[in-house]
Amino acid sequence: MGNCSQGCKDYFSRQKNTNIRLTLPVVCFVWQIAMIILFGVFIRYDKESNAHWVETKAHDNITSDIENDFYFRYPSFQDVHVMIFVGFGFLMTFLKRYSFGAVGFNFLIASFGLQWALLMQGWFHSLDPQTGKIFIGIESLINADFCVAGCLIAYGAVLGKVSPVQLLVMTLFGVTLFAVEEYIILNLLHARDAGGSMVIHTFGGYYGLAISRVLYRPNLHQSKRMQGSVYHSDTFAMIGTLFLWMFWPSFNSAITDHGDGQHRAVINTYLGLASTVLTTVAISSLSQKTGKLDMVHIQNSTLAGGVALGTAAEFMISPYGALIVGFFCGIISTMGYIFISPFLEKTLKIQDTCGIHNLHAMPGVIGGIVGAITAAAASESVYGKQGLINTFDFTGDFKDRTVLTQGGYQAAGMCVSIVFGVVGGAIVGSILKLPIWGDPADENCFDDEMYWELPDEEEEHQESIPPILEYNNHMIHKQQDLSESNFSVEHCES
Amino acid sequence: MGNCSQGCKDYFSRQKNTNIRLTLPVVCFVWQIAMIILFGVFIRYDKESNAHWVETKAHDNITSDIENDFYFRYPSFQDVHVMIFVGFGFLMTFLKRYSFGAVGFNFLIASFGLQWALLMQGWFHSLDPQTGKIFIGIESLINADFCVAGCLIAYGAVLGKVSPVQLLVMTLFGVTLFAVEEYIILNLLHARDAGGSMVIHTFGGYYGLAISRVLYRPNLHQSKRMQGSVYHSDTFAMIGTLFLWMFWPSFNSAITDHGDGQHRAVINTYLGLASTVLTTVAISSLSQKTGKLDMVHIQNSTLAGGVALGTAAEFMISPYGALIVGFFCGIISTMGYIFISPFLEKTLKIQDTCGIHNLHAMPGVIGGIVGAITAAAASESVYGKQGLINTFDFTGDFKDRTVLTQGGYQAAGMCVSIVFGVVGGAIVGSILKLPIWGDPADENCFDDEMYWELPDEEEEHQESIPPILEYNNHMIHKQQDLSESNFSVEHCES
Amino acid sequence: MGNCSQGCKDYFSRQKNTNIRLTLPVVCFVWQIAMIILFGVFIRYDKESNAHWVETKAHDNITSDIENDFYFRYPSFQDVHVMIFVGFGFLMTFLKRYSFGAVGFNFLIASFGLQWALLMQGWFHSLDPQTGKIFIGIESLINADFCVAGCLIAYGAVLGKVSPVQLLVMTLFGVTLFAVEEYIILNLLHARDAGGSMVIHTFGGYYGLAISRVLYRPNLHQSKRMQGSVYHSDTFAMIGTLFLWMFWPSFNSAITDHGDGQHRAVINTYLGLASTVLTTVAISSLSQKTGKLDMVHIQNSTLAGGVALGTAAEFMISPYGALIVGFFCGIISTMGYIFISPFLEKTLKIQDTCGIHNLHAMPGVIGGIVGAITAAAASESVYGKQGLINTFDFTGDFKDRTVLTQGGYQAAGMCVSIVFGVVGGAIVGSILKLPIWGDPADENCFDDEMYWELPDEEEEHQESIPPILEYNNHMIHKQQDLSESNFSVEHCES
């Protein structure tokens, strides 16, 4: 951008046009048709969702239908699904006039993203070399939802400042990058990351922050009046917060090992999150003159403990270990909202609408570090011989790996996720800067008016304003004409 | 009605009286007491929910409690339960002043309907000939919820225009008709319809539309000011939309076969719904001059893919097949809102408040057709020999049925559901037209004021109205004192 | 208090100070650190969540991971979790300006309470005598959530009248008392109470009412303007109601016996709740001149049937028995709101914000009585020989207990829960009366302003105020121009 001549500058700063009547339908149709074709070529039911299951059962000596992976994972899957659509969607409704965009665009990009994720993750993780097909089952659906989560995190950074077309582009590339970094971290480095501290949160966080940096709007203050919340929008946002918070144990345990793996991941996440709530409240209260609480902190920082346990939840971190992680994450995340976010905006020019740096990026990095330390400290006495092998999957090519080495690879994995987030986000941000995507002007940010047919609110007010006021309105005009009123400013604001 | 003399006409058009202080309590009490008596006579725990289970286990050589059907179906049941009460309830809160009626009456009729459904479905499907008892378990509860869904769909067509007593009557007959058509379709025709494209959505849709036709209100425009949404009511409605959307895979898989049946139904529904979202957004955007999105479409049409996969979700329709079904349903349903609903209202005099024709009736019919075609195209190579038998239940009397024949019976089933919906709705509509049910006058439709004690909003307004208005109030009193106004306090509260 | 001299009186009635910037952070930090230390000393994973599970499996001849208790209880656990955080939280959002406090403080005290509950319940119920450790698994998490429920019920009585610090103190003692009474009732008396009619609802109800009595505010009418609801806050509250209602079957079945025990508890609760809805509507309608419904009743009394089946849901009460219990609970609870609550406030000076007496205390007592009768009436012919032993756990020390004796102990258990609630609440109430906890003055009750940074609503109003008012603004300015005012529009919007 630096070498851009005047003409180029003009090109980028020309009058914004938010008409997306051509681009949005075209992108939706073309991409959806592409999905259908690619699914036709590549995607098939796996053996547990195939009508041949009855033969598989006989062949593998499985005695009961309940052994189908479906019954191990479906409840967790549905909880994750709720987190993706209601959790992320409603968490972002806090702005006074961007609830439609928050919930609606979240809905759109998640629906596209999960299809593309099934393909991308399939190609990288489970393409059958013989048939050239990808066989999907319940675990694939969970992984697709996880992949989408990374992109929704990134949405949080640019909430209110981009068009739905930009979001779709961001999701297309985000899912692609995700599948690659995930392949490197989980398959090549063989790091463990069941709840995605690194793969999902660190990547998603830095991806979004980098995009937001490239799309920096120096005049964003022009839409300052739209950047706050109102009472009811904050209450809506709490729906998102709570569903994320409650179902985070399912998130971190959804794809861990059957039996003790899922069981332990739930306990750790449950405890870590509880601990986070108390320290978030403490710091939030400390930050205000009279100890009042700030809804922004309660809505977001209370979740940091779940993010930070994304890697270690399946390990034997022990219950008090989970509490400690949650303890510090609540503090750090809330402090992030108070001190770091303003710094990022002023100094680094990163405008982070939802504060994903505090909720996902930082806690994600903490989670990666916690995971590396916990892995390096694992021992046969704590896990048992077979337990250690199962938990870290020390089989096949990795059967001779020591826990110390594993700790090193965990740390390496975290670096990969940061690099992919930052570099990927910078590149995708540049693409999104092209003036063809219908993004709003600075003064129209955070306003559903741009992309949604809004209900006519006049109607409501005529309903609910008591008749006397209408009468008043009438009278007051007369009155004003007549009298030398001593009306003063203070009345306006009292 | 045509032969109705002037006196009769007067009878029907006399002053509306929405006082339901007699009828509503009487109906609730009498019907609930009837339920208790009938349950006492007929309903018992089945062998899996009976304390004798320990003996059943020993007798049937069941090795583990986890083989109890409860563990196969309870997570899906709870998801369906959420769809019925939160999903349908909140989806209908979009009107600016009918949220109480939407959620509250939905709650009432579902609570009655599920009891009556347990009896009706029990008599038709599972009455034990020896004992004369109906034995219920978790699958019975799911089926009762399903049955209720049909009636809640019908509620969508008449939302805001009927009294709670009418809704209860509508539910009584709706459940009855449902049980009969379900018996014909599933038992006599032996059609498959696990997610109820035909049995639930087609029937429920046409039942509601027929009732709405009979109850046509030529002067409904008198309550036009109440027919829109406001910003927050649209956000509430998205809660309903999302819970329906997220849990639809559970809906379509709740009563399918253990193992691969449930697994596959989830995958298909998940994919179909994702596809629908993209095409809904595309058409919605196309329909507006500047490509803005319409909340009505996002709230409703995004769900059409789930409806249309109600029959075929358990079949080997294959992942791309599910995407294709969703693709077209998003288009057709959204177009329905744009073109067909106005046509239905103007030409056919069907006033369909929630657009159930676009969300349930049409996609239901599509689902029936898709099911028939998919069944007719089934083959042993795709399903496996035993898989084909299991999926279509080609056992007992039906063990020699071919897939082609099956396809024919599927199509026949769809016709049955349409006929039951239209004819049943017309008859029930006529009953509801009797002027004894306390329905609102045309100018009072879509207004919670009729059936709910509403909170006093003045209070709120004094909270939130800017001081200038209070100043106005102040002034006006002075004014009144001066000008001998005959304005009185009571006007404030009228 | 009675002997309190004038000086003491002054001490108690001095100017209220709601600054909690010191106390709240200190309590949160110190208690959370205490939790970490105590967890470090006492809490460990149980054998099903421990990495040694693979050895346990081999040792105990468990053939499949699905036999892990996790898979029997996790779906129910998550439903209970939703009830605790979304159910209780949103149910209390009905007040026009206390939604932040309702959801936020509920979140805070539940997060603390569940940690403390794991310790307290562990010490009393499952401390391993050899190792001195408490081993936790999924059932421990459910029990911790249950324990918290007792405290959240108590919160309902004092909603809007206490500070978050008081709530934390109330929770600390509430959980402690809960663990003791639970130990007496379930272990010493060997009463059955899977869904906690006695242990949770009766105790929690009377605990809250006793506290509210001690904290009686004679001048509470000073905040009368804040005590009502507004349209949207009532709609938010319905989210809480419905999630409680839908998931109550999971609540009552979460810790019942595997297999038929869980299955039956679900059926009974499902039916009882359905029945309650109809009688609640009937009585609510009867209570108003024109048969209108009252949202307070619909939000609360519809849940009474679930409370009252907390003890008997796992028994063979039979489906119609469940309907009968629900039938009467709907009537009694709704009548409670109409007749008993005003009486309690006027005569007994118990100010019960949410009406927990009608929703929890009374139905809880009914549930205890129903449980005692049902237990006493149990027979081998209905339960089967082994079924009776399993259901009432007639093993070990209790293997010779008869059902009649069991009935007696059930009744005794109920008395214990009442005594613990009343006496415990009175003592804790006295502690909370100390003027050091930052509670609000009478005129500031029910107002989030005291403890929350509230969004600036003016902004919003300029959005939504109808044009005529803007016109007023315009007029008034003209006026001001005339009177030499230097007031300008911008001031209004700063």
Q: Å from C24 to nearest chain A CA? A: 6
Residues within 8 A of C (CB atoms), A 265-294 only: 266-267, 270-271, 273-275, 277-279, 281-283, 285-286, 288-294
Range in A65-69, B292-296, B359-363, B471-475 with the lowest mean pLDDT: B471-475
3-state secondary structure chain C: CCCCCHHHHHHHHCCCCCCCCCHHHHHHHHHHHHHHHHHHHHEEECCCCCCCHHHHHHHCCCCCHHHCHHHHHHHHHHHHHHHHHHHHHHHHHHECCCHHHHHHHHHHHHHHHHHHHHHHHHHHHHECCCCCCEEECHHHHHHHHHHHHHHHHHHHHHCCCCCHHHHHHHHHHHHHHHHHHHHHHHHHCCCCCCCCHHHHHHHHHHHHHHHHHHCCCCCHHHHHHHCCECHHHHHHHHHHHHHHHHHHHHHHHCCCCCCHHHHHHHHHHHHHHHHHHHHHHHHHHHCCCCCCEEHHHHHHHHHHHHHHCCCHHHCCCCHHHHHHHHHHHHHHHHHHHHHHHHHHHHHCCCCCCCCHHHHHHHHHHHHHHHHHHHHHCCCHHHHCHHHHHHHHCCCHHHCCCCHHHHHHHHHHHHHHHHHHHHHHHHHHHHHHHCCCCCCCCHHHCCCHHHCECCCCHHHHHHHHCCHHHHHHHHHHHHHHHHCCCCCCHHHHHC
Q: Which of A51, A86, A485 sits opposite B316 (nearest CB)?
A: A51
Average pLDDT over residues B429-453: 94
Position A235, amino acid: T
3-state secondary structure C333-356: HHHHHHHHHHHHHHHCCCCCCCCH
Residues within 8 A of A (CB atoms), B 202-241 only: 225-226, 228-235, 238-239
Query: Contact C274/B108, CB-based, under 8 Å?
Result: no
Element at B29 (helix H, strand E): helix B23-42
The token duo for B31 is 């019907």
Residue A280's φ and ψ, nearest 5 degrees, are: -60, -45
Range in B273-287, C193-207, C475-489 with the lowest mean pLDDT: C475-489
Query: Model confidence over B290-345: pLDDT tens digits?
Result: 999 999 999 999 999 999 999 999 999 999 999 999 999 999 999 999 999 999 99
- What is the pLDDT, as a whole number, of residue B12? 54
- What is the pLDDT, as a whole number, of residue A480? 40
Average pLDDT over residues A128-150: 96
Average pLDDT over residues A7-23: 71
> Mutate which of A57, A78, A99, A483 to disrupt the B interface (most B C-beta within 10 Å)?
A78
- Identify the band that residue B51 occupies on the pLDDT scale cut at 50, 70 and 90: very high
- What is the pLDDT, as a whole number, of residue A289? 87
- Identify the band that residue A469 occupies on the pLDDT scale cut at 50, 70 and 90: very low
* Closest residue, chain C, to A383 (C-alpha): C51
The token duo for C224 is 């009368």
Query: Contact C68/A260, CB-based, under 8 Å?
Result: yes
Position B492, amino acid: C
Query: Model confidence over B372-390: pLDDT tens digits?
Result: 999 999 999 999 999 999 9
Q: Å from A405 to nearest chain B CA? A: 38
- What is the pLDDT, as a whole number, of residue A17? 86
Residues near C123 by beta carbon (within 8 Å), at least 6 away in sequence: C42, C134, C179
Residues within 8 A of B (CB atoms), A 387-446 only: 438
Average pLDDT over residues A330-347: 96
User: How many Cβ atoms are within 10 Å of C346's Cβ, its own excluded?
Assistant: 9
b/e A76-101 (16+ beta carbons within 10 angstroms → b): bbbbbbbbbbbbbbbbbbbbbbbbbb
> Mutate which of C71, C91, C233, C285 to disrupt the B interface (most B C-beta within 10 Å)?
C285
Tell whether B339 is within 8 A of chain A (Cβ).
no
Q: Which of A23, A74, A455 sits opposite B230 (nearest CB)?
A: A455
Ramachandran area for residue C438 (φ above 0: left; ψ -120 to 50: alpha; else beta): left
- What is the pLDDT, as a whole number, of residue A7? 54
Average pLDDT over residues A154-176: 97
What torsion, rounded to 10 degrees, do the Cα atoms A77, A80, A82, A86 define?
-160
- Identify the band that residue B10 occupies on the pLDDT scale cut at 50, 70 and 90: low
Q: Could you say which DSSP state residue A338 is in?
A: I
Computed over every residue of chain B, the mean pLDDT equals: 90
Question: Which residues in chain C are closer than 8 Å to B454, comparing Cβ atoms?
Answer: 231
CA C136 to CA C120: how far, in whole Å? 12
Question: Which residues in chain A are closer than 8 Å to B327, comparing Cβ atoms?
Answer: 32-33, 36
Average pLDDT over residues A125-137: 95
- What is the pLDDT, as a whole number, of residue C487? 35
Rg (CA), chain B: 25
pLDDT score of A57 more than 90: yes
Q: Which of C456, C478, C487 sits opposite A228 (nearest CB)?
A: C456
Using alpha carbons only, give the angle B408, B413, B417 rounded to the nearest 5 degrees. Answer: 150
Query: Model confidence over B394-410: pLDDT tens digits?
Result: 999 999 999 999 999 99
Tell whether A78 is within 8 A of chain C (Cβ).
no
Average pLDDT over residues A55-76: 95
- Identify the band that residue C464 occupies on the pLDDT scale cut at 50, 70 and 90: very low
- What is the pLDDT, as a whole number, of residue B2? 45
Using CB atoms within 10 A of its CB, is residue C46 exposed (0-12), middle (13-18) or buried (19+)? Answer: buried
- What is the pLDDT, as a whole number, of residue B460? 43
Query: Model confidence over A73-127: pLDDT tens digits?
Result: 999 999 999 999 999 999 999 999 999 999 999 999 999 999 999 999 999 998 9
- What is the pLDDT, as a whole number, of residue C10? 54
Residues within 8 A of B (CB atoms), A 6-65 only: 18-25, 28-29, 31-33, 35-37, 39-40, 43-45, 48-55, 57, 64-65
pLDDT score of C434 more than 60: yes
* Closest residue, chain C, to A483 (C-alpha): C479
Measured between its terminal Cα atoms, the distance across chain A in Å is 49
Average pLDDT over residues A417-444: 95
Q: How far is CA B422 from CA A119, B340, B417, B419, in A?
A: 43, 18, 9, 5
Query: Model confidence over B192-216: pLDDT tens digits?
Result: 999 999 999 999 999 999 999 999 9
Tell whether B466 is within 8 A of chain A (Cβ).
yes
For chains A and C, CB pairs below 8 A equal 276
Computed over every residue of chain A, the mean pLDDT equals: 90
Using alpha carbons only, give the angle C59, C61, C66 rounded to the nearest 5 degrees. Answer: 110
Average pLDDT over residues A192-210: 97
Element at B44 (helix H, strand E): strand B43-45
pLDDT score of C473 more than 80: no
pLDDT score of B470 more than 80: no
CA A280 to CA A249: how far, in whole Å? 19
Question: Which residues in chain A are closer than 8 Å to B319, comparing Cβ atoms?
Answer: 39, 43-45, 136
DSSP state string for A437-488: S-PPPGGGTT-GGGTB----HHHHHHHHS-HHHHHHHHHHHHHHHH------
- Identify the band that residue B456 occupies on the pLDDT scale cut at 50, 70 and 90: confident
Computed over every residue of chain C, the mean pLDDT equals: 90
Q: Which of C275, C293, C327 sits opposite B452 (nearest CB)?
A: C293
Query: Model confidence over C368-423: pLDDT tens digits?
Result: 999 999 999 999 999 999 999 999 999 999 999 999 999 999 999 999 999 999 99
Query: Model confidence over B229-262: pLDDT tens digits?
Result: 999 999 999 999 999 999 999 999 999 999 999 9
Q: Could you say which DSSP state residue B1 is in?
A: -
- What is the pLDDT, as a whole number, of residue A8? 54
pLDDT score of C40 more than 50: yes
- Identify the band that residue A464 occupies on the pLDDT scale cut at 50, 70 and 90: very low
Query: Model confidence over A237-287: pLDDT tens digits?
Result: 999 999 999 999 999 999 999 999 999 999 999 999 999 999 999 999 999
- Identify the band that residue B8 occupies on the pLDDT scale cut at 50, 70 and 90: low
CA A492 to CA C469: how far, in whole Å? 13
- What is the pLDDT, as a whole number, of residue C478? 39
- What is the pLDDT, as a whole number, of residue C12? 54
Residue C19's φ and ψ, nearest 5 degrees, are: -70, 115
pLDDT score of A467 more than 80: no
Q: Which of B115, B459, B465 sits opposite C225 (nearest CB)?
A: B459
C-alpha of B50 from chain center: 32
> Mutate which of A65, A278, A300, A456 to disrupt the C interface (most C C-beta within 10 Å)?
A278
- What is the pLDDT, as a whole number, of residue C236? 97
- Identify the band that residue A14 occupies on the pLDDT scale cut at 50, 70 and 90: low
pLDDT score of B475 more than 90: no
CA C61 to CA C58: how far, in whole Å? 5
> Mutate which of B78, B147, B225, B229 to disrupt the C interface (most C C-beta within 10 Å)?
B78
b/e C288-303 (16+ beta carbons within 10 angstroms → b): beebbbbbbbbbbbbb
- What is the pLDDT, as a whole number, of residue B6? 58
* Contact present, B300 and B241 (Cβ < 8 Å): yes
Tell whether A316 is within 8 A of chain C (Cβ).
yes
pLDDT score of C287 more than 50: yes
Average pLDDT over residues A318-322: 97
Element at A134 (helix H, strand E): strand A134-136
Tell whether A379 is within 8 A of chain B (Cβ).
no
> Mutate which of A235, A386, A490, A491 to disrupt the C interface (most C C-beta within 10 Å)?
A235
Q: Which of C266, C292, C319 sits opposite B452 (nearest CB)?
A: C292
